[in-house]
């Protein structure tokens, strides 16, 4: 890395902050500056690296911090080098660990952010999420069966062991095949899949409580607990739209649920209101005919603005598809969503205060999967000091998870999922 003295710095834009958001799905690098940046980039091989030239940029200590922000376990980035390539041109070289399809774009100032230059490093080949869920379930079943068999063998050995004789030589049990067996493939259509969507993430912190508790952290914790609870239900598997601190665009959350042919979609939030005394949990379903209340309309508008804060590449090739997808909601989906919402709300009622005693409706973009019953759960108002304290509590989060799990199970008991057809 090239270090320059103060008298040698190029004059131009100033870097306000640099951030790196690593995840298995993609890694995002963000440069925040006081003015817009102009860049050129090229993807090189042998070794694989992304070369980025930024025009009119002052080489600053903040920019040099980017080198230390890359962690050894980053799935995509091996390292970063930065230097003054030409007068008024800073060069970043991102060394890559795998074949990558980079997306570079800029974001205008919004919320607390100034100008942002974003590099998204996606894998060139996306894995099949449905197959991954099936393999994960099969491996868990195999491990559980092996544990039972081992325990049973140990118990029988103790019963049959003669006094004073050496222990018998145990015969190892062959391990099941690692691949998905044919019988499991035949059960795919009966595997119940619940898509769990922790709101916000990465560049988008969501709402922030009076003492600094961030919505994105709370809802991820609840979602991880809910995944474990649902995975423990026989024949059920949970898929998270994000399992770490990274941003997922609203349309991509819907796409993920449809790719795994989810039977349900549950988006988890802990939002804020402009009045700090607002409190209580809420459950929302989609509406085709306007919001059921002014508060619901305000909430939907706020959540739908998440893409602006989180940062979406509007020039991405699937932008047109995304817009079309979000207009495909159906009356049948909304009817089933209201049933699901009613079951979940009935259980959350036992945990604490409800903001509204019935399922509300509004035009939430994230609820617009046309063939997946979808609800958005506001676990509490993080803007309320008392409820922020509750949201910090593991005990309260566990109660929420129990309520959500029971509500989902009750919905399926009354509305068994139909056999799936593979969606392309």
Mean pLDDT, residues 188-192: 65
% pLDDT > 70, the chain: 81
Average pLDDT of the residues in 288-297: 77
- Residue 105's pLDDT is 93
pLDDT at residue 317 greater than cutoff 60? no
Asked whether the beta carbons of 27 and 74 are under 8 A apart, the reply is yes
Q: Read off the pLDDT band of 86 (50, 70, 90).
A: confident
Q: Identify the band that residue 181 occupies on the pLDDT scale cut at 50, 70 and 90.
A: very low
With the C-alpha atoms ordered 42, 20, 216, 231, is the resulting torsion angle positive or negative? Answer: positive
Say if residues 277 and 231 touch (Cβ distance below 8 Å): no
d(CA 219, CA 206): 10
Q: Say what the pLDDT of residue 19 is.
A: 96
- Identify the residue whose tokens are 């706020």: 302
Q: What is the pLDDT of residue 113?
A: 96
Is 62 a residue whose pLDDT tops 70? yes
Backbone angles phi, psi at 122, to 5 degrees: -100, 150
**Which residue carries 């998905």 as its tokens?**
180
Cis peptide before 47 (omega within 30 of 0): yes
Global confidence as pTM = 0.81
d(CA 247, CA 202) in angstroms, rounded, equals 5
Give me 109's structure tokens: 């100032």
Residue 341 and residue 389 in contact, taking contact as beta carbons nearer than 8 Å = no
pLDDT given for residue 253 in this prediction: 94
Task: Give the other-Cβ count within 10 Å of 69's Cβ.
Answer: 15
Flag whether pLDDT at 315 surpasses 50. Answer: yes
- Rounded Cα distance between 313 and 317, Å, is 9
37 within 8 A of 31, measured Cβ to Cβ = yes
At residue 177 the predicted structure's pLDDT band, cuts being 50, 70 and 90, is very low
Length of the chain counted residue by residue: 424
pLDDT at 6 over 50: no
Average pLDDT over residues 141-158: 70
Query: Residue 176 above 80 pLDDT?
Result: no
Res 369: pLDDT: 86
Beta-bridge partners for 272: none
What distance in Å separates the CA atoms of residue 224 and residue 391, rounded to the nearest whole number?
Answer: 15
Q: Cα(319)–Cα(162) distance, rounded to whole angstroms? A: 72
Give the model's pLDDT for residue 93.
Answer: 95
Q: At residue 179, does pLDDT exceed 50? A: no
Predicted confidence at residue 167, as pLDDT, reads 53
With beta carbons less than 8 A apart as the criterion, state whether 406 and 347 touch.
Answer: yes
> What is the separation of C-alpha 306 from the centre of its chain, rounded to a whole number of angstroms?
13
**To which residue do tokens 């042998």 refer?**
46
What per-residue confidence (pLDDT) applies to 418? 72
- Structure tokens belonging to residue 337: 């969503």
Separation between Cα atoms, residue 180 and residue 183, nearest integer Å:
8
Q: Using alpha carbons only, give the angle 150, 153, 159 rounded to the nearest 5 degrees.
A: 145
Does position 242 have pLDDT exceeding 90, yes or no? Answer: yes
Res 379: pLDDT:
95
Tens of pLDDT, residues 322-335? 554 445 557 889 99
**How does DSSP assign 361-415, residue by residue?**
EE--GGG--TTS-EEEEE---TTSHHHHHHHH-HHHHHHHHHHHHHHHHHHHHHS
The region of weakest confidence among 57-66, 131-140, 289-298 is 131-140
Question: Is pLDDT at 2 greater than 90 in this prediction?
Answer: no
74-109: buried (b, 16+ CB within 10 Å) or exposed (e) per residue? bebbeebebebeeeebbbbbbebeeebebbbbbbee
141 vs 96: which has the higher pLDDT: 96
């Amino acid at each position: 890395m090239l270090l320059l003295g103060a008298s040698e710095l190029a004059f131009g834009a100033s870097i306000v902050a640099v951030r790196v958001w690593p995840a298995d799905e993609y890694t995002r690098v963000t440069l925040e500056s006081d003015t817009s940046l102009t860049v050129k980039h090229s993807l090189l091989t042998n070794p694989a690296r992304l070369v980025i030239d930024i025009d009119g940029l002052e080489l600053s200590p903040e920019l040099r911090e980017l080198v230390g922000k890359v962690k050894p376990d980053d799935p995509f980035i091996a390292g970063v080098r930065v230097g003054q390539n030409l007068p008024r041109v800073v060069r970043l070289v991102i060394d890559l660990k795998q074949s990558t399809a980079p997306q570079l774009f800029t974001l205008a100032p919004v919320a607390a952010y100034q100008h942002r230059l974003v590099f998204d490093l996606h894998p060139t080949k996306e894995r099949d999420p449905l197959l991954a869920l099936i393999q994960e379930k099969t491996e868990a079943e195999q491990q559980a069966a092996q544990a039972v068999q081992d325990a049973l063998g140990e118990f029988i050995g103790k019963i049959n062991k003669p006094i004073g004789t050496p222990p018998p030589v145990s015969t190892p049990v062959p391990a099941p095949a690692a691949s998905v067996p044919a019988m499991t493939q035949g059960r795919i259509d009966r595997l119940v899949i619940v898509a769990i969507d922790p709101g916000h993430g990465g560049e988008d912190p969501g709402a922030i409580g009076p003492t600094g508790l961030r919505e994105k952290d709370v809802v991820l914790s609840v979602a991880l607990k809910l995944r474990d609870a649902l995975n423990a239900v026989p024949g059920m598997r949970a898929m998270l739209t994000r399992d770490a601190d990274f941003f997922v665009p609203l349309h991509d959350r819907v796409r993920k649920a449809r790719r795994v042919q989810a039977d349900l979609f549950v988006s988890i939030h802990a939002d804020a209101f402009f009045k700090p005394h607002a409190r209580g949990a809420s459950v929302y379903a989609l509406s085709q005919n306007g919001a059921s209340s002014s508060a619901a309309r305000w909430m939907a508008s706020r959540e739908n603005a998440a893409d602006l804060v989180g940062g979406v590449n509007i020039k991405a090739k699937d932008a047109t598809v995304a817009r079309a997808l979000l207009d495909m909601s159906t009356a049948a989906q909304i009817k089933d969503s209201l049933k699901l919402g009613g079951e979940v709300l009935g259980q959350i009622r036992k945990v604490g205060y409800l903001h509204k005693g019935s399922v509300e409706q509004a035009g939430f973009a994230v609820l617009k999967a046309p063939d997946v019953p979808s609800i958005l759960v506001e676990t509490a108002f993080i803007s309320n000091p008392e409820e922020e304290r509750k949201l910090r509590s593991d005990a309260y989060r566990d109660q929420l998870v129990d309520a959500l799990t029971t509500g989902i199970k009750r919905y399926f008991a009354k509305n068994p999922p139909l056999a799936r057809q593979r969606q392309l």
